[in-house]
Amino acid sequence: MTPQQTSERPPMKEVFGIQVPTAAYYLHQGHAWVALEETGLVRVGLDDFSQKILGTADSLKLPAVGRTYYQDKVCLALFKEGRKASFEAPVDGVIEAVNPKVRQQPNLVHDDPYGEGWLFLIKPTDLESNLENLSSGEANVTWIDEEAHRLLKFMETKGGVILPDGGAVVDNLYGHYPDIGWRPLIKEFFAKNLTTTVLEEGSIKDLWQDVYNTGNLQYCFNCSTCVSGCPASHGNPPLLVRNLARKVILGLEEELLMDDTPWACVSCSRCEEMCPMNVMPFELILSIRQWQCRNDETLIPPAIVEIYKRGYTQAVGVNLELRKSLGLAPLPTITNNQEQLGLFQEMLMKTQIVSDNDYMFKG
């Protein structure tokens, strides 16, 4: 179907410099908005609070048409300067259409969040029940006022920043005050259910029982043998398997969820061959990847983007320097063969994760 944009703008009130709709629009606790269409569909976007805090996005990960999403579950993401902010679905339903304009012009989400910057249309499956969990009308103003005060307290606690009470929130707040921390900010205001809903079924330590039925993980003593033989340990950021083992053992859920390094693994299994305690570090890496994907459906491993751009993720430069120091002739990589790299990229573009997010890989 061809998505149609509503031309009407809702009446607004300003709270701390943030535009808040007082009619027609419902607000979700994760700062997505909902507008009911005459067709029975629901239009969804992100509110002005989120855009004032995060600033203009570089790109977006929108939900796939035809997919079913549920209220409070992650359904989309905003990317800015290499960082990702996940957002939750405000209602249950099936995605009917997405706004093609925001893929080409992500700034629309920031510049006109309640108009041209809408994100997708969804066919609701439990709308009456879902709306009970959203705010509307003047309650939107009250809630955003509470959120603004929470933000002031958050900034003082996390970054030592004290803003005058009653003033306007500066646009691109995080850009001005990065010390408050991107990840804590996202979890506090936009993706509150990202880890808690999944972990209700058991702690992160319990998730490894099927893989580590012998309990070998507890014998890891961080000797770094796995790191010394790992080709990805020279990457940027480096893959340090011992650090991953420590996070699992200590149950550092948030740190582990946001750790991109497991995706730098090239599956050579050298770490397992070298581990003196048979900890099975490669199986650990696979388990972490699976857990991250179950927690965040918008996850796009950064390694895939690197593979698409240059054909590999290993730190090939280290090997090239070593060959040069030994007086050996350099070996060409796929990056030097544009024809082969083009064929490789064409193959990757046929995979679902790349084709669904082609705007991240092209250009």
Q: Residue 201: its pLDDT value, please?
A: 44
User: Under 8 Å CB-to-CB from 183, ≥6 apart: which residues?
Assistant: 254, 258
pLDDT exceeds 80 at position 215: no
pLDDT digits 0-9 by tens, 186-205: 888 998 775 444 444 444 44
C-alpha dist (Å) from residue 204 to 94, 133, 282: 30, 28, 18
User: Under 8 Å CB-to-CB from 42, ≥6 apart: which residues?
Assistant: 34, 35, 36, 91, 93, 121, 122, 123, 124, 127
Percent with pLDDT over 90 in the chain: 43
Spans of all domains in the chain: 1-188, 195-299, 300-363
Token representation of residue 111: 């510049």
User: Tokens 């709308």, residue?
Assistant: 127
- SS3 track for the chain: CCCCCCCCCCCEEEECCEEEECCCEEECCCCEEEEECCCCCEEEEECHHHHHHHCCCCEEECCCCCCEECCCCEEEEEEECCEEEEEECCCCEEEEEECHHHHHCCHHHHHCCCCCCCCEEEEECCHHHHHCCCEECHHHHHHHHHHHHHHHHHHHHHHCCCCCCCCCCCCCHHHHCHHHCHHHHHHHHCCCCCCHHHHCCCCHHHHHCCCCCCCHHHHCCCCCHHHHCCHHHHCCCCCCHHHHHHHHHHCCHHHHHCCCHHHHCCCCCHHHHHCCCCCCHHHHHHHHHHHHHHHCCCCCCHHHHHHHHHCCCCCHHHHHHHHHHCCCCCCCCHHHCHHHHHHHHHHHHCCHHHHCCHHHHCC
pLDDT digits 0-9 by tens, 90-140: 999 999 999 999 989 999 999 999 999 999 999 999 999 999 999 999 999
User: Under 8 Å CB-to-CB from 222, ≥6 apart: which residues?
Assistant: 242, 245, 246
Backbone angles phi, psi at 333, to 5 degrees: -100, 170
Q: Residue 137: its pLDDT value, please?
A: 95
Q: Determine the Cα–Cα distance for residues 79 and 106; give it in Å rounded to an integer.
A: 10
Q: Residue 123: its pLDDT value, please?
A: 97
User: Under 8 Å CB-to-CB from 359, ≥6 apart: which residues?
Assistant: 59, 103, 104
**Which CATH number does the domain 195-299 belong to among 3.40.50.11540, 3.40.1030.10, 1.10.1060.10, 1.10.10.10?**
1.10.1060.10
Q: Residue 362: its pLDDT value, please?
A: 67
pLDDT exceeds 50 at position 214: no
Give the pLDDT band (50/70/90) at residue 4. Answer: very low
In this prediction, residues 265-287 reach a mean pLDDT of 88
Q: Residue 130: its pLDDT value, please?
A: 97
In this prediction, residues 329-342 reach a mean pLDDT of 85
Q: Is the dihedral of CA 22, 24, 28, 33 positive or negative?
A: negative
Read off the pTM: 0.70
pLDDT exceeds 70 at position 146: yes
Give the pLDDT band (50/70/90) at residue 237. Answer: confident
Higher pLDDT, 248 or 50: 50
Q: Determine the Cα–Cα distance for residues 359 and 61; give it in Å rounded to an integer.
A: 9
In this prediction, residues 247-274 reach a mean pLDDT of 84
pLDDT exceeds 80 at position 273: yes
Higher pLDDT, 70 or 252: 70
Higher pLDDT, 214 or 64: 64
Closest C-alpha among 292, 299, 333, 303 to residue 316: 333
pLDDT exceeds 70 at position 165: no
Residues 1-188, CATH architecture: Beta Barrel (2.40)
